Structure 1
Amino acid sequence: MSGFCLEGHGEEVCRPEPEAERARELGQAEDQVAECEKSLADHAALCAATDRALRDLLAADKYLADIPFDISHEEVQDQIAVLKGQSITVHVKREALPTLRVIVPQSTATVLDLNRAIRRTFDLHQKRRRRKRELKSSSSRSLQPDYELGVNISWRYIWRTYLLVLDNCGEPAEPLLDDQQLLSSYGVGNKSVLRLWLSVWSLWCAVDPSLVMVTVTADSLPDGNNNNVKLSEHGLQLTQTLNMQRQEFLQQACKLMGYENASLEDLNEQQMDHLLVDPSHKFLYCYVPKVACTNWKRVLMIMTGAWKNGTDPLEIPASLAHSVGIFQKLSSLQPDERRTVISDYTRLIITRHPFERLLSAYRNKLEGNSSSARYFQTRIGKTIVKSFRENPSNESLELGHDVSFEEFIKYLLTPNLSMGYQANQSFNEHWEPAANLCHPCIIKYNVVGKYETLLDDSALALYLANATNVSFPTGHKPSGTSSQLRKYFEPIPVGAIRKLYEIYEDDFRLFDYGLENVLGFEFG
């Protein structure tokens, strides 16, 4: 026997060596871990099998098919309480979102109880949506994103910003303001319908301390003496609600991507080249080429007084709107003045799906036949043809007028060509990522517009800037580019699309754009 022995009281007591004892204990621990892991694996497999069996069982019965297969014990108890008349069902309607069906006790429920029930119901719905997506992705071959950019709902922010109001067939109703009041005191009963309304009488953009306060009343709306794009009071409320959601998403994305500590001092003069200011209206606009920037520059010319021949933006020649030196830039201000802009001004950015914007630039500058297109074809198109086309014709080499979209993508993915002629090693502004032009995590825009909602967002920005003498042109029409995306991207190899996505990844993530709706897949 290995170890050492002691003699005492006529007996010899032997003990194993300490190293052997430790090895034995370690072996026992490893066996226990292995047994535990096997048990967990068996449990997970059992849970999965139970889920599948329960789902199949419910789906096969027409009376049970609408019951969630992962229904919780609490939900079962709630349904029993409703059937016994001990609880009531309240329907909460939200703009452009599904109605929430919430269950609360019949006689004792307070406003606070309802708020908590709404949160529980919403969280449960979100959990089920995520689970459905996971099940769908696990059974399909579609590529999934390698990040989960979900925004945690701030319920404190929700209840500070929105009011619960009983839908009383169009009649005015008292908002549910007192958390301790019984729901019955507000007239809320079984099958009552409540609406979430924006609290417009004291609407604070609470996403960030530097965001402006907005108060919308019927008396303060534009008077209709010109052709402004106008929104009704309700329209402004809805547009501002969506705008606030975009701001919160952008702020959370900046934090998740590690940009939250970026500051204005990090930008040099050239990086502020697209940041235009109008001190008279306390207004900043970052222009992004191929995102309605020509019309917005026209509007800004009227706001600043640079155009004195009327208030119709469309009368201003596009070439004049793009003239060098016509606008004041943020870079021209002193550091303390710049900080004032970031804290006090209305700050507007209009964004667009990155690939849609890229395709628009290609179609306009390399596929078109305008004088601007001929300039780009001569300057860039000829280089692309020479670099990527086998056996090009003399005409193509001379004019660069027939560059294919696939050749254009190859050009973008070749930095020594697409960035080589730029002194600051960036793309041409027409396909430079919007995040590089506008620095959204630093400027903290309080109007985050999108090309898809251009007219409403522009009207909101002008309203906040108190620019009542000018309108955003109502003649804006969809370009048709979005409907062409799949056609142009179909011949492009997936590997090239992935590399292209990486170039514009910040734009996708910061401004909440994806690939699935336009290309039919996401990247994993």
Structure 2
Amino acid sequence: MMKHRSILFLLGTTILIGALMCIERYFVTQELTVNQKTQHSSLRDRIVSTAQPAEEANAKRKRKIEKFCKLKRFSALEMTVDSWSANGVHSRPRLYFTDSMKLIFCETPKCGTTQWRNLMLIMDGHLNGFEAGPEDNFEMSMKHNFMWTKFNLKNQTHASNVNERLRQYYKIMTTREPLERLVSAYRDKLETNKNHFYYAVSKQIHKVANPQSPPGPASFEEFIDSILSTKSRMGLDPHWKPYSELCSPCKINYDYVAKMEMVYDDTTVITRNIGIARDRIYNATGRERVQERRNELFHEYYLRLPIAKRDAIFRYYKDQYDMFDYDYPDFISDSKFNKNE
């Protein structure tokens, strides 16, 4: 009898311990589930809180562009290639596309375009998840994704294919403070000899500006003078050609006009809309310090210029400030440019 009681006692104790463990596991699981839901909810809330102001800012930019186009009496938005077919490739908007993502991207050099081209190459299977160097990136993108390499507008079927993509695909372009972009282009392309082609361009600019001086790279002032002496902005190098000449925003209704100054927030919205992870394009780490350094260089280079030239180069690009909703630089001296009109 005692033996049976001992067995029953041990059995009951085992069952009780097991039940207690199950109850504990249940509550731990519930707690983890709640924490996971809270974390997911928190992440979703952060994305929503980031996305809404960015979407509102984009809507404002698009209204600004539409208003500018009407004010300047440009033709109404007409997403067809008819107006480009008679022009050479260099006169057309610099459009890249990917059918796998149903995305069209207009290239505006010095505004983060390399990352977008790289993404297209990866998503289309031309890169195995690795970034290509700038030169390889450009050559591969021209071969695989550049609209005017893939389609001949003199062919009616090709023209129809381009028009269909313009109507249906998600279209984006990027901008940057216009005069800050010039500093970036000068520092990257002309100030050093890391790119042989542009170093030759730099030396030629210097030679024209100062034929009696020793050979060498162009100064920033000589670079600015070379731009000011170019009457037709369509003849400028793409790295300092205005956005309006690069992307035809009065003819193409871009779904999103992103700004380098808001790159993290804008990219969050764009990548959500096209269904990819945001960190495939940009990482937020250190972006505040990067922008601070850009602002420092921006003022450093322009304060070297005579006041008259600062005003002149601003007037040259003033319509880009108005069209893409940028505040005027604080170093402009002309009183009528003290605030945006």
Tell me if TM exceeds 0.5.
yes
Q: Deviations over 1:271-310 (max 9, x none)?
A: 3351011122221101111111112211221222221x23
What aligned pairs does 1:336-375 form with structure 2 within 5 A after superposition?
A: 336-370=160-194, 372=195, 374-375=196-197
Aligned mate of 2:145, from 322, 328, 345? 328
Partner of 2:47: 232
Other-structure match for 2:314: 501
Distance 1:437 1:384 in 2: 23
SS in 1 for 2:313: helix
Please tell me whether residue 414 in structure 1 is matched to residue 236 in structure 2.
Answer: no
CA contact (8 A) 2:311 2:332 kept: no
What is the rounded CA distance, in whole Å, between the counterparts of 1:425 and 1:448 in structure 2?
21
Residue 250 of structure 1: aligned partner: 65
CA deviation map 1:40-64 (0-9, x unaligned): xxxxxxxxxxxxxxxxxxxxxxxxx
What is the correspondence of 1:438-457 to structure 2 with a 5 Å cutoff? 438-457=247-266
SS at match of 1:326: helix
Matched, 1:463 2:278: no
Work out which of the residue numbers 112, 115, 121 in structure 2 matches 1:295. 115
Alignment of 1:376 onto 2:185: no
Change (3 A) 1:341 1:489: same
Task: State the 1:269 CA deviation.
Answer: 5.0
1:492 is aligned to 2:305: yes
Report the 3-state secondary structure (helix = DSSP H, G, I; strand = E; otherwise coil) of the residue aligned with 1:347.
Answer: strand
| Pairs within 5 Å for 1:109-508 | 232-261=47-76, 263=78, 264=80, 265-267=82-84, 268=87, 270=89, 271-272=91-92, 274-307=94-127, 309-310=128-129, 315-324=131-140, 325-331=142-148, 332-333=150-151, 334-370=158-194, 372=195, 374-377=196-199, 379-389=200-210, 391-393=212-214, 397=215, 400-401=216-217, 403-415=218-230, 426-468=235-277, 471-474=280-283, 477=287, 478=290, 480-508=293-321
User: Which structure is higher in strand share?
Assistant: 1
The amino acid of 1:459's aligned partner reads T
Aligned to 1:89: none
Q: Distance in 2 between matches of 1:392 and 1:457?
A: 46
Quote the Cα distance in structure 2 between the aligned partners of 1:290 and 1:347: 19
Is this contact kept in 1: 2:114–2:137, CA < 8 A? Answer: yes
Unaligned runs of 5+ in 2: 1-36, 152-157
TM-aligned CA deviation for residue 412 of structure 1: 1.5
Shift of residue 523, structure 1, vs aligned partner:
4.5
TM-score between both structures, scaled by the size of structure 2:
0.72
- The whole-number CA distance in structure 1 between the counterparts of 2:219 and 2:323 is 30
Of 484, 499, 510, the match for 2:323: 510
- Indicate the structure whose relative CO is greater, using CA pairs within 8 Å and at least 6 residues apart: 2
- Partner of 1:35 in structure 2? none
1:51-130 residue pairs with structure 2 within 5 A?
none
Whether the 8 Å CA contact 1:299–1:470 is kept in 2: the answer is no
Secondary structure at 2:104 match in 1: strand
CA contact (8 A) 2:206 2:219 kept: no
Structure having the higher Rg: 1
Distance 1:339 1:408, change over 3 A: same
Alpha-carbon contact 1:291-1:352 (below 8 Å) kept:
yes
Question: Larger helix proportion, structure 1 or 2?
Answer: 2
**Using the alignment, how far apart are the partners of 1:425 and 1:457 within structure 2?**
28
Equivalent residue, structure 2, for 1:29: none
The residue number in structure 2 matching 1:167 is none
Deviation at 1:470, TM superposition (A): 7.1
Note if contact 1:239-1:456 (Cα within 8 Å) is conserved in structure 2: yes
Matches of 1:305 and 1:523 in 2, distance apart?
A: 52
How many residue pairs match? The answer is: 280
Distance in 1, Cα, partners of 2:278 & 2:321: 35
Tell me the C-alpha RMSD between the 2 structures. Answer: 3.0
For 1:299, give the aligned amino acid: L
2:93–2:248 contact (8 Å) kept in structure 1: no
SS of the aligned residue for 1:441 comes to coil
Q: Between the two proteins, what is the percent identity of the paired residues?
A: 24
Are 1:253 and 1:509, in contact at CA under 8 Å, matched by a contact in 2? yes
Listed one character per residue, the Cα deviations across residues 140-187 of structure 1 (whole Å, up to 9, x for unaligned) are xxxxxxxxxxxxxxxxxxxxxxxxxxxxxxxxxxxxxxxxxxxxxxxx
Cα distance, 1:491 vs. partner? 3.5
Equivalents in 1 of 2:286, 2:163: separation in Å?
34
Per-residue deviation at 1:445? 0.9
Q: Which amino acid aligns with 1:259?
A: F
Residue 410 of structure 1, CA deviation? 1.3
TM-score, with structure 1 as normaliser: 0.48
The alpha-carbon distance between structure 1 residues 447 and 518, as it changes in their structure 2 partners (threshold 3 A), is farther
CA distance in 2, matches of 1:337, 1:476: 42
Letter matched to residue 240 of structure 1: E
